[in-house]
């Protein structure tokens, strides 16, 4: 494990561990620390897998895509049976196996994994994977979860810019950019769930901006959580409030807004969450864990690793992605698997 990118995630665990020294509520603090154990232990568990061949890695990728595609099919069947009870105009969303936000990120990542298999195989399997990628892309727009959609379009845009510049394919690049703009326009006009979600988001944000009342507004509550989180960070800028005291401190800030759910009171931004709980000191550790892999991988980074970083980091701007078990599992699993692709045996 001489390569720093393999052990850098452990800094996230260290960041939470050190913040416990500044916490009074050690019960909550230990819960947050336990949740971060995969950042410390999973890289060790992946040591034997570094010898895996590209052939077997592609088989695992294919199985993963097929499983996610099957899961998507069950979600669509369930939505078809219950669509009258799900109103996207009210901010509802179809039922998913777990958090619809995390699920949309997995679907988004699955699209690019399917394309990776498509590029690296030369049998009927590649066309199956291409079909799965298109199927998952359509579902992503039907699901209409913004985190997944933003992650997909941002990743695709960055890949397109990189390809256009490095290969000097200017006409193809401009054509692709136009197509990338047309896809959401078509989705807005053809998919009712997508259209209703966009309209609800516009109503939610404009209502909050005009009235400042966040109690009954989903996006308004998110924006308000950022305001309160920033206020708390400014009061505890150096070392934060401590991971164990984060919930207690945010509840104190919300003492005049008791109608807002407790889960909505926590900062809806991973970086702000770290800033509030661990201060500038914690931000340095967290930033090193998140950003330095880009530096150490700059000479051998595959496009799949870049896509993973864009997907997960874009979600961290609007969600505390790493403050749930599924979020931690999602980040560390894809981080380590895409590192396997980047290892010496698996160059593109």
In this prediction, residues 290-300 reach a mean pLDDT of: 88
Contact 239, 214 (CB under 8 A): no
Backbone phi and psi for residue 20, each to the nearest 5 degrees, phi listed first: -65, -25
Predicted pLDDT of residue 346: 47
Contact 233, 275 (CB under 8 A): yes
SS (H, E, C) the chain: CCCHHHHCCHHHHHHHHHHHHHCCCHHHHHHHHHHCHHHHHHHHHCCHHHHCCHHHHHHHHHHHHHHHHHHHHHHHHHHHHHHHHCCHHHCCCCCCCCCHHHHHHHHHHHHHHHHHHHHHCCCHHHHHHHHHHHHHHHHHHHHCCHHHHHHHHHHHHHHHHHHHHHHCCHHHHHHHHHHHHHHHHHHHHHCHHHHHHHHHHHHHHHHHHHHCCCCCCHHHHHHHHHHHHHHHHHHCCCCCCCHHHHHHHHHHHCCCCCCCCHHHHCCCCHHHHHHHHHHHHHHHHHHHHHHHHHHHCCCCCCHHHHHHHHHHHHHHCCCCCCCCHHHHHHHHHHHHHHHHHHCHHHCC
Predicted pLDDT of residue 344: 44
Give residue 210's pLDDT band: very low, low, confident or very high (50, 70, 90): low
pLDDT at 263 over 60: no
Give residue 345's pLDDT band: very low, low, confident or very high (50, 70, 90): very low
Percent of the chain past pLDDT 70, that is, above it, reads 86
In this prediction, residues 14-39 reach a mean pLDDT of: 94
Backbone phi and psi for residue 191, each to the nearest 5 degrees, phi listed first: -110, 110
Predicted pLDDT of residue 184: 75
Burial 273-312 (b: 16+ CB within 10 A, else e): bbbbbbbebbbebbebbbeebeeebeeebbbbbbbbbbbb
pLDDT at 276 over 50: yes
Q: How far is CA 329 from CA 11, 15, 246, 325, in A?
A: 16, 18, 22, 6
Give residue 347's pLDDT band: very low, low, confident or very high (50, 70, 90): very low
Q: Six-digit token pair at 15?
A: 């960041």
In this prediction, residues 273-299 reach a mean pLDDT of: 93
Predicted pLDDT of residue 348: 44
pLDDT at 262 over 60: no
How many C-beta atoms lie closer than 10 Å to residue 108's C-beta?
A: 30
Give residue 95's pLDDT band: very low, low, confident or very high (50, 70, 90): confident
Looking at every residue in the chain, the average pLDDT score rounds to 84
Percent of the chain past pLDDT 90, that is, above it, reads 45
pLDDT in tens, 30-58: 999 999 999 999 999 888 777 778 888 89
pLDDT at 307 over 50: yes
In this prediction, residues 117-134 reach a mean pLDDT of: 90
Q: How far is CA 277 from CA 233, 245, 255, 270, 274, in A?
A: 8, 8, 19, 11, 5
Predicted pLDDT of residue 96: 87
- 23-32, 85-94, 264-273, 332-341: the lowest-pLDDT one: 85-94
Q: Six-digit token pair at 26?
A: 């050690």
pLDDT in tens, 236-258: 999 999 999 998 888 888 876 66
Contact 139, 194 (CB under 8 A): no
Predicted pLDDT of residue 338: 87
Q: Six-digit token pair at 122?
A: 């030369």
Q: How far is CA 82 from CA 102, 142, 167, 187, 231, in A?
A: 22, 15, 48, 22, 42
Cα–chain center distance at 220: 21
In this prediction, residues 178-198 reach a mean pLDDT of: 74
Q: Under 8 Å CB-to-CB from 120, ≥6 apart: which residues?
A: 54, 58
pLDDT at 120 over 60: yes
| C-alpha to C-alpha distance for 110 and 129, rounded to whole angstroms | 10
pTM value is: 0.86
Q: Six-digit token pair at 306?
A: 């870049």
pLDDT at 209 over 90: no
């Amino acid at each position: 494990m001489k390569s720093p990118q393999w052990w850098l995630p452990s800094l996230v665990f260290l960041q939470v561990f050190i913040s416990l020294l500044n916490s009074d509520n050690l019960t909550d603090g230990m819960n947050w620390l336990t949740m971060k154990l995969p950042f410390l232990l999973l890289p060790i568990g992946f040591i034997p897998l570094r010898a895996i061949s590209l052939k077997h890695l592609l088989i695992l990728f294919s199985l993963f895509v097929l499983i996610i595609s099957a899961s998507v099919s069950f979600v669509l069947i369930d939505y078809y049976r219950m669509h009258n009870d799900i109103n996207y105009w009210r901010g509802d969303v179809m039922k998913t196996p777990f958090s619809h936000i995390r699920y949309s990120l997995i679907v988004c990542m699955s699209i690019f994994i399917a394309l990776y298999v498509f590029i690296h195989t030369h049998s009927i399997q590649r066309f199956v994977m291409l079909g799965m990628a298109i199927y998952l892309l359509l579902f992503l727009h039907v699901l209409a979860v913004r985190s997944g959609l933003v992650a997909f379009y941002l990743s695709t845009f960055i890949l397109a810019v990189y390809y256009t510049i490095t290969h000097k394919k200017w006409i193809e690049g401009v054509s692709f950019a136009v197509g990338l703009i047309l896809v959401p326009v078509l989705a807005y006009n053809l998919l009712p769930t997508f259209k209703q979600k966009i309209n609800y988001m516009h109503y939610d944000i404009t209502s909050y901006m005009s009235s400042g009342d966040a109690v009954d507004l989903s996006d308004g509550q998110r924006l308000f959580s950022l305001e309160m989180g920033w206020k708390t960070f400014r009061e505890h800028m150096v070392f934060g409030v401590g991971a164990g005291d984060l919930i207690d401190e945010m509840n104190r800030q919300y003492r005049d807004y008791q109608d807002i759910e407790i889960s909505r009171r926590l900062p809806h931004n991973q970086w702000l969450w770290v800033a509030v709980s661990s201060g500038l000191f914690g931000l340095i550790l967290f930033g090193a864990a998140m950003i330095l892999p880009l530096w150490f991988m700059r000479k051998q980074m595959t496009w799949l690793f870049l896509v993973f970083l864009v997907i997960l980091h874009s979600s961290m701007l609007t969600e505390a992605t790493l403050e749930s078990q599924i979020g931690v599992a999602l980040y560390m699993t894809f981080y380590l698997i895409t590192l396997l692709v980047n290892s010496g045996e698996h160059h593109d």
